[in-house]
Structure 1
Amino acid sequence: MKHNNLPAQLQQLCTVLQPFQFGVGGSCLLWQLGLEAKPNDIDIVCTEQDFAVICQVLQPQFSLQVTPAHAEYASAHFARFSRDGWPDIELMAGIAVKQGDAVTNWQFNPQRCHWQDGICWMPPADWLQLYRLFNRPQRVAQLKAYLLRLTAQSM
């Protein structure tokens, strides 16, 4: 999959989603921070209120994929969209993960997102929390190292 038009694809997507509360994260965020060479997909987190309407907005341009239930992910809303020449888009809201008998919920705060070059990015600290929750130790290590470097540079 080619990622040379990823910035344009993300800008196009963010333009369409601008009226809603959302942020781009996951491997695209790591790519934007220089931590990832090729994002696997486009992760978008949105508010539970906006999830259904964002799905309606995406459906004319992207095809909705059937996604099997996940043993540990217990998010209220999840949808995967695909389109030729694009990375898959994973849209999620009301993020929650089952850990043993407990379910841990994660609260999306759209006010923490920021716009840069036409793309609405989630903060790296939020994805550090999410990758911990998703039990992705390699991603946690990448983001922790990045955030430590940032902290060291600002001192």
Structure 2
Amino acid sequence: LSVSDQKKLTDKGYNFVGSFQGYAGFFFSNSCTCTEAGSDYAYIEYNAVWNKAARIIRNTLLPRVRSKVKADPSTGYISNTTISSWDALVKSALESMVNSEDIAGFDIYINPKQMAVSDKPFNIKVKLVADGIVHEFEIDLGFTNKI
């Protein structure tokens, strides 16, 4: 395939096999997942990170399912101590992903205005800061008279 044909296929989210001059073997053209390029799930690498974070969070919070939720007696909302406890648990668990360089960072938010006595799921918002992916390099190479 010509370079322009490869770019057209890549822009449409296709993966294909090709080679690099001077290297033996064949390589996948990219790691697209057939979703829009701007999506959080556009590349296999980001899906792997998302899945790892989801597993870690699930394994961390699952032992708390069907456990007591302390209420603030003046508001009926979940207590600050419960929020702090859940926050600390998830932070501690996700710190392993930062240490292993799976993500650059993260943020956790637990809305304190959730009723302690409720049959609705408690909402915890987690945002991950992903590291980038090198898709290709563009080099400006030239001669000069002096540096």
Q: One fold, TM greater than 0.5?
A: no
Question: Please, what TM-score do these two structures have when normalized by structure 1?
Answer: 0.25
Question: Please, what TM-score do these two structures have when normalized by structure 2?
Answer: 0.26
The structure showing larger relative contact order (alpha-carbon pairs under 8 Å, at least 6 residues apart) is: 1
Larger strand percent: 1
